[in-house]
């Protein structure tokens, strides 16, 4: 069987967060097809667990789905920033807590069919009060839930964000809960 081969990649749109391309692909059957490809700079997210065992979540409006979403704190990588540093930065920016002890949980690709966005997922229970420092266009509400409550919200469809679902279920498994 022949392999797939990219013949050409053309930039369609350069955005603030993503770049959209059309890839002309050589297919295993010898034909070609044009595929959409979204290039993303990468991101990181973190599960912050407070001293009472509650997970700090952020609720924010998401334009793509036209509604508010309950998620773990997350954000895109800055230039030359590694995922762990990004997770620590997003923790402080969005929740007003920082941590000296951040553990890696998993990495995941969000939408493998057309996007290369990779998110590093971390967790911490070593929270130090700090100061929230939201981006100019960022408005979040902080909420705290037990892991059991969050799993129920996943199962009943209240939480439908893929990174949050993956992170919380992986965290539950890792912690043996």
- CA distances to 91, 99, 105, 123, 129 from 102, rounded to whole Å, are 10, 7, 10, 6, 15
| Catalytic (active site) residue 100 | no
Question: What token pair was written down for 163?
Answer: 């990174």
Pick from 79, 95, 83: nearest CA to 45:
83
Q: Where are the alpha helices (DSSP H) in 41-114?
A: 83-95
Nearest residue to 124 via CA among 149, 148, 95, 153: 95
φ and ψ at residue 25, rounded to 5 degrees: -115, 135
**Cα three-residue angle 81-84-87, rounded to 5 degrees:** 95
Whether the CB-CB separation of 165 and 159 falls below 8 Å is answered with: yes
Catalytic residue among 71, 81, 136, 149: 136
| Helix (H) or strand (E) segment spanning residue 150 | helix 147-155
Indicate which residues carry an active-site annotation: 136
């Amino acid at each position: 069987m022949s392999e797939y081969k990219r013949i050409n990649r053309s930039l369609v749109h350069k955005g603030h967060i993503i770049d959209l391309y059309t890839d002309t692909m050589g297919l295993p059957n010898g034909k070609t097809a044009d595929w959409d490809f979204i290039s993303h700079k990468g991101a990181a997210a973190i599960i912050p667990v407070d001293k009472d065992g509650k997970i700090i979540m952020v609720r924010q409006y998401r334009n793509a789905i036209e509604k508010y979403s309950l998620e773990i704190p997350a954000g895109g990588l800055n230039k030359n920033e590694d995922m762990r540093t990004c997770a620590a930065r997003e923790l402080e920016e969005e929740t007003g807590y920082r941590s000296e002890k951040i553990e890696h949980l998993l990495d995941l690709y969000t939408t493998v069919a057309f996007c290369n966005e990779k998110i590093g997922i971390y967790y911490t229970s070593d929270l130090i009060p700090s100061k929230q420092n939201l981006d100019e266009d960022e408005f979040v509400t902080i909420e705290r839930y037990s892991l059991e409550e969050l799993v129920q919200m996943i199962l009943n469809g209240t939480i439908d964000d893929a990174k949050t679902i993956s992170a919380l279920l992986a965290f539950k498994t890792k912690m043996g809960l």
